[in-house]
A and B are shown apart, each in its own frame.
Chain A
């Protein structure tokens, strides 16, 4: 199966290309675009990005494996990132993570059996003043309480 962007996303790609003096510079934004559609960066996506931006596949793989946010295997429908770094840990990030693990029945790094949620830990998300916090897909949830986390996770599992 070869990969291709939807026509709308392909138009966005053309816009992205205009921002830079060469095609390679568009690689990271374009990989985000592809991951938004595909959920992860498969070998097909790597080959596609290589052709589309005229960079070697090995270069694309190097970039994909360097950055934390590019998924190298399929993930759940929703991604829950719990910040674990010190300022959050001082305000209960450890307990927050344990709470999520217990409620979802999985460990950090795993996906629920129904494929709905992948739970992960994040390194500092620049939200230290509103700790503890977690990122759900593209949204920050800050100053979390157990009740707020329960409501959030219930909503995601629905």
Chain B
């Protein structure tokens, strides 16, 4: 169901939309934080937040309010809120727009979040490459401090609050929450073993909540209208997947971009109504629904959910393009919602070349800590490269499955799955194309295309 909204994006496109003046005028700026801090108790904030059914927008989809409720006051240690803005999953380009165009929603969200979990400092971890995003966040913090919203007594309430922007060093793995915490502490961004979970021992060994940037930016809107009402904006509120979120589309569409809609939009609406359809009016070939780690979908796939108790049963027999984009609905069709930014592949795109491109990414970004991932990502890349170059064998094609399956579940963090799942997705859904390369029926030079004829970058 296509329902455009503008809770997070009202300031987008407005002149100087990132400034405090516009935020206060257009978005009831900081009124919600003022009300929450002056009238609500900490526990009530967490209980209210649970009703918003905000599923983590970073990819895992964990309910935000439930995550907040894991925080327990420590007798001696402070608590921290850490915001993950290390946006770097290929195909994901949404958090950046919030930081650049509505940074005050992030700061206000941090204030409410900090108050709810008992923290006085929030660290926003932004990947270093996003220089404009960092500058806009720092400027927003300075404006909020000048008004006395951030500082020793926000709105006259005795609850000191500070927000700090931290910068990364160029490593995709730092989007994994424990790796991010190590990076925040000035260490190599290697993920930590869990437990202890961040709520027990996170940043600097203290209780910590890590939330995605879009997740925290939605908090002021949710609390302003009432969290339950916010949740009900979603078409799949009944599946505990509430509110509004940013939807992105990229790749072979005529009009790539980011839009805010109520949760429950379908891929068909995202690609054709918002994205303007496939480049060159070609047939749709495949979709990576929410960042490169989410297994690819074929355009001709149908939902198989004959069981009446399945939440997907209403869409049984329909195209996967018509399933509402939700955390549980997309898990149900064998992929993941991820970051909700879809990459579109038009007819004529080579799935072997696409997998090869992604395996280069994972090979480059594996932190090297766990052997199955460090070595496996290299083997996945090398064998895919051999097949693409026409030097692969059927035995090696099967080996790709074994290697991917040996990564799954055998690593400290989810990067291993993030590498293996898309590899298995391409291998299972496009087996025939891989075999065609092995048999010499297809060649990289003529068939290994990633671009379509229209709108190519045509330099020479």
Contact = CB atoms under 8 A, between A and B. Distances in A.
Interface string B151-173: 00000000000001011111110
Contacts of B169: 28, 31-32, 63, 66-70
B459 interface: yes
B129 interface: yes
A22 B187 CA distance: 12
B237 interface: no
B452 to A, nearest CB: 8
Interface in B267-310: 288, 292
A99 B460 contact: yes
Nearest to A135: B129
Contact of B166 (A29, A122, A127): A29
Given A27-B186, A86-B343, A126-B87, A139 B450 contact: no
A46 interface: no
Contact of B256 (A32, A70, A128, A138): A128
A149 interface: yes
A91 B357 CA distance: 13
A73 interface: no
A93 B171 CA distance: 21
Contacts of A94: 450-451
B456 A92 contact: yes
Interface residues of B, number: 63
A24 B183 CA distance: 10
A33 to B, nearest CB: 10
A39 to B, nearest CB: 16
Interface string A89-123: 11111111011001000000000000000000011
B186 A26 contact: yes
B93 A99 contact: no
Nearest to B85: A126
B250 interface: yes
Size range of the interface on A?
35 or more
Contacts of B258: 129
Interface string A66-89: 111110000000000100111101
A45 to B, nearest CB: 14
A3 interface: no
A5 to B, nearest CB: 17
Contact of A69 (B128, B292, B358): B128
A135 B357 CA distance: 20
A87 B367 CA distance: 22
> Interface centre among B92, B190, B455, by most A CB within 10 Å?
B92
Given A62-B188, A129-B250, A90 B131 contact: no
Contact of B171 (A62, A67, A99, A129): A67
Interface string A23-43: 011111101100000000000
Contacts of B190: 66
B457 A146 contact: yes
Contacts of B185: 22, 24-25
B91 interface: yes
A19 B365 CA distance: 28
A63 B187 contact: yes
Given A19-B164, A89-B357, A91-B451, A126 B96 contact: yes
Interface of B: 87-93, 95-96, 127-132, 164, 166-172, 183-190, 204, 248-252, 256-258, 288, 292, 341, 343-345, 349, 354, 357-358, 360-361, 364-365, 367, 450-451, 455-460
9 tightest A-B contacts by CB? Answer: A92-B457, A67-B169, A99-B459, A27-B186, A69-B170, A68-B170, A146-B459, A128-B250, A24-B186
Interface of A: 19-22, 24-29, 31-32, 53, 55, 59, 62-63, 66-70, 81, 84-87, 89-96, 98-99, 102, 122-132, 135, 138-140, 144-146, 149
20 contacts: A20-B164, A25-B204, A28-B166, A28-B167, A31-B169, A66-B367, A67-B168, A67-B189, A87-B90, A90-B251, A90-B349, A90-B450, A90-B451, A124-B89, A126-B88, A126-B129, A127-B93, A128-B343, A129-B256, A135-B129
